[in-house]
Structure 1
Amino acid sequence: MPVTDELEPRVIMGATVEETARAAAQHAAAAIIGAIQDHGSARVVFASAPSQEAMLAELSRDERIDWSKVSSFHMDEYLDLAMDRPQAFGQWLADRLPLTALPGFERIRADAHDSAAEIARYSALLTRAPVDVTCLGVGVNGHIAFNEPEIADFADPGWVREVTLDLVSRQQQVDDGLFADVSEVPSRALTLTVPALASAATMVCTVVGSQKAPAVARALTGPVEPACPASRLQEHPGARWFLDRDAASELDTHPDGLPAASSTP
């Protein structure tokens, strides 16, 4: 079941990246442990990005989680990039999940010769049972996974789709230090769709850094629209935002229905 409480703030602000990551990991862990207690296993979709690194480190250290009962998925993957490259999202995540989680980690096969067949294969894995938790971040252009502004479909009937990446998203990979030049960043990827991400009972959105502040403000206070895919979280009752001070710096006021951000314990 989702980890929610009508009295719980939907936006939690930490004074530091570490504090923010700790609060997000605690929330994700509670949802994972709750799913295991409720039905014997948990199914979790993870983002692969530098903004998630501290949260994943905290989550991996939580000894309460029985990773042998967790099926893990990642939410996007480049095409035209070798799967063992450190920039490959599946490899990035495999390098950061605990060793005990790897037997249950299902990777998108970026080396598949037929992307349609890979879409069908991974979609079948994802829809085998409900997703319990989605751990995600937000791109500087408001994307979630690689659902780019304007082309994101909040009613997409599919669970995985091939997309062409926005130049802003490709440049973000360079700015994050993952590639030396935008020309090196693949322009095609497979991504879980917005409905696939939002199918989880609990969504844990961890965002850090001032470069994300405009997207955070738009996602939380602007209209719910594909021009800002992260705005879809406004309509998800199990979505919680975990922001450091920099990421929250443009939240002068908070949207109706969302309590003011609070410091993490």
Structure 2
Amino acid sequence: MMVPKENFCVDELVVNVYNSEAEIAEDAAEIVSKYLHSLLLEQDTVRVLLATGNSQLKFLDALIAFGGVDWSRVTCFHLDEYLGIDGNHSGSFRYYLREKVEKRVYPHVFNYIEGDTLQPLGECDRYSQLLRSQSIDLCLLGIGENGHLAFNDPSVADFSDSYGVKLVKLDEVNRQQQVNTGYFSSIESVPQYAFTVTIPMICQSKKIICLASGKRKAEIIKTMLQGEISTACPASILRTQSQAMLFLDIESASL
């Protein structure tokens, strides 16, 4: 197992710092693989809630390469999806997860948020019921440059949300991030609205693994770990979650 360069707690949150994104991916993959394997020794299936985005790419590669998980007994969900976008659009999270996960490991089932549904409020209810039908054993997260978890931007995040999944309007920082990371050609092409799993639903997960690397995440990581726990930085809620682990590299932890 990779030994972190630094290991400490901020309130209830365990924080590991590594020399590089590659080291994050290697250690997080081993931790997750062993955790899922141990659960499958005790229960028939496990339920995993997956993030998307560039922060997950090396980790997903490392997790699949590490092995040790019987994916035929894993039920998958995802955290968010754009409203009105086709599942074959290259910016769709369904497209990302089909290509990066489903087609590579063939889980028992992958329950997708249908972003192009004709009844979006009904889709929120449907997906909420799926998530609430049994416990989520593992939630994988990234952190947005505005501190969002999933699509819970500061303007719409609610630590006491009564919804499991809701429709939100994305803020400009979030939409520009989608352009900067290469998923859309311009901010005008990024949908303005999206589905998101809410903060309380995320926090009900039995284990949370959150990855954040690179210098562009340094400012928000400083705010997350040293500022107030508030919806101004939604990711700060992880400081109240003893089941959560945050994986940083020396660049994202530099401030």
**TM (normalized to structure 2)?**
0.92
Higher alpha-carbon deviation: 21-30 or 83-92: 21-30
Structure 1 counterpart of 2:45, from 24, 41, 45 = 41
**TM (normalized to structure 1)?**
0.88
Render the CA deviation track for 1:191-244: whole Å, top value 9, x for unaligned.
000011111111100111111111111111211111110000000001101111
Higher alpha-carbon deviation: 214-223 or 167-176: 214-223
RMSD over aligned CA atoms reads: 1.4
- Give the letter aligned to residue 64 of structure 1: G
Render the CA deviation track for 1:15-73: whole Å, top value 9, x for unaligned.
11111111112222232223222322111111110111011111112321000111111
Render the CA deviation track for 1:146-201: whole Å, top value 9, x for unaligned.
00104211011111000000100000001101111101100010000001111111
**Match in the other structure for 1:189:** 194
**Match in the other structure for 2:223:** 218
Shift of 1:103: 4.2
SS at match of 1:246: coil
Flag structure 2 segments of 5+ consecutive residues without an equivalent. 1-6
- 1:90 matched to 2:90? The reply is no
Distance of 1:178 and 1:102 partners within structure 2: 25
Mapping of residues 171-190 of structure 1, within 5 Å: 171-190=176-195
Render the CA deviation track for 1:62-119: whole Å, top value 9, x for unaligned.
3210001111111000012111112101110111115333442111111210001111
- 1:148 matched to 2:140? The reply is no
- Tell me if the contact between 2:89 and 2:95 (Cα under 8 Å) persists in the aligned partners: yes
- Give the letter aligned to residue 80 of structure 2: D
- Report how many residues are paired: 244
Report 1 or 2 for greater relative contact order, CA contacts < 8 Å, sequence distance ≥ 6: 1
- 1:248 matched to 2:253? The reply is yes
- Tell me if the contact between 2:73 and 2:108 (Cα under 8 Å) persists in the aligned partners: no
SS at match of 1:191: strand
**Match in the other structure for 1:112:** 117
SS at match of 2:94: helix
Structure 1 counterpart of 2:80, from 62, 65, 76 = 76
SS at match of 1:43: strand
Flag structure 1 segments of 5+ consecutive residues without an equivalent. 1-6, 251-265
- Give the letter aligned to residue 226 of structure 2: T
Structure 2 counterpart of 1:24, from 18, 24, 28 = 28
**Match in the other structure for 2:16:** 12
Q: Percent identity?
A: 34
- Give the letter aligned to residue 122 of structure 1: Y
